Amino acid sequence: MDLTQFAIPGLPQAYYIPNFVTEDEEKYLIRKITESPLPRWRHLQNRRLQILGGEVTSKNVLLPQAFPSYITEYPDIIGRLRPTGAFAASPHKQPNHIILNEYRAGQGIMAHEDGPSYYPVVATLSLGSHAVFHYYRYTSISVGADEGLTSGKGGKGRSINTTPVMSVLLEPRSLVITTQELYATHLHGIDDVHVDTFPATGRDPETLSSTGIANIELISDEVMKDVVRGGGSLGRETRYSLTCRDIERVAGHGLGLGRR
């Protein structure tokens, strides 16, 4: 697969692939996810999630567990990721850890950085709803904590410029692949809104990539594309995201932590 056709303009090493799964596969995946036993869910303040592939210890070691069959058999997300080459240079050549997030309309995720245990490639499959993913930078000069968002761990209270430097519209069924540079230099987040609105005016095509939706030309749904281009709103529904990563250190692989 030639990933360059899916490159997101203006973002370093970031790719957006619409319709990575079909509508039938999406329905099947959502059914399997919503049918999973309740104890699998972990409840956070503003969303719930499941960890697939095993827990990661505080020392960043994966305690591996088998993926559910909807990841490895049908629709075989792992197998389908292979030809993208996203994980070709990663330690295990494929993801071994997936965080499955559920966001109801009105729920999001605060701007944050991901932990250091991951090889710096993340492939995210979105199901059930779109979301607008924002990328933020820290302010270069530290201003007072009251003048901007401050991040929790990792950022150590550095303030964040609350205006996103870049945004990406994630359609349902799309895959977004982000790699090293973006991951290391930016924070990312999703607003906790019921509706995403896009302004009707002031969209200069020249500056769109720096102020608007960077993947506009890669969006496959014409209605969504028109709304992003011409202004309007998109209502959120329940969204599931599968964030696929490769954890370098795996228990039982010569780390003296015993085999499973």
Contact residues: Fe ion, CB under 5 A: 114
CA 10 → CA 140, 170, 214, 215, 253, distances in Å?
Answer: 21, 16, 7, 9, 39
Q: Which is nearer to ligand AKG, 90 or 101 (CB)?
A: 101
Q: Which is nearer to ligand AKG, 117 or 139 (CB)?
A: 117
| Separation of CA 229 from chain center | 23
- Shortest Cβ 124–ligand AKG spacing (Å): 5
- Shortest Cβ 16–Fe ion spacing (Å): 16
- Shortest Cβ 111–Fe ion spacing (Å): 9
Q: Which does 99 bind (CB under 5 to 8 A by kind): Fe ion, ligand AKG, none?
A: ligand AKG
Q: Which is nearer to ligand AKG, 118 or 203 (CB)?
A: 118
Report d(CA 77, CA 137) in Å as an integer.
Answer: 31
CA 26 → CA 75, 171, 198, 242, distances in Å?
Answer: 9, 12, 26, 12
Question: Which residues in 219-248 contact ligand AKG (CB under 6 A)?
Answer: 241, 243
Q: Which is nearer to ligand AKG, 87 or 118 (CB)?
A: 118
Over the window 93 to 132, marking each residue x when it contacts ligand AKG by CB under 6 A and - when it does not, the resulting string is: ------x-x-------x----x---------x--------
SS3 for 245?
Answer: strand
DSSP character for 189? E
Q: In 3D, which of 180, 176, 99, 81 has the Cα closest to residue 134?
A: 176
- Shortest Cβ 89–ligand AKG spacing (Å): 21
Backbone angles phi, psi at 218, to 5 degrees: -100, -5
Tokens of 199: 């302004």
- Shortest Cβ 86–Fe ion spacing (Å): 16
* Virtual torsion, Cα 74, 78, 80, 82, nearest 10 deg: -160
Question: Which residues in 160-219 contact ligand AKG (CB under 6 A)?
Answer: 188
Q: Which is nearer to Fe ion, 159 or 241 (CB)?
A: 241
Residue nearest to Fe ion (CB): 114
243: burial class by Cβ within 10 Å (0-12, 13-18, 19+)?
A: buried
HSE-CB of 215 using CA atoms within 13 angstroms: 32
Q: Which does 121 bind (CB under 5 to 8 A by kind): ligand AKG, Fe ion, none?
A: none
Q: Which is nearer to ligand AKG, 114 or 248 (CB)?
A: 114
- Shortest Cβ 28–Fe ion spacing (Å): 25
Contacts to ligand AKG by CB under 6 A = 99, 101, 109, 114, 124, 188, 241, 243
